[in-house]
Amino acid sequence: MSILADKKVIIIGDRDGIPGMAIQACAESAGATVVFSSTECFV
């Protein structure tokens, strides 16, 4: 069973890892609905 298709996805990206918007593009390509996307910054 697919993990992402038709799911509501919350994205917590990281400025020094993968930023939120980049993850969003991936999640949408898997058929998920992104309900929230943010990027954290520890520095």
> Contact positions toward another protein, by CB under 8 A?
2-5, 7-23, 25-27, 29-32, 35-43
CA distances (Å), origin 19, targets 2, 6, 15, 23: 23, 22, 5, 7
35, amino acid identity: V
CB of 32 to another protein, least distance (A): 7
CB of 24 to another protein, least distance (A): 9
CB of 1 to another protein, least distance (A): 11
- Give backbone dihedrals phi and psi of 30, rounded to 5 degrees, phi first: -100, 10
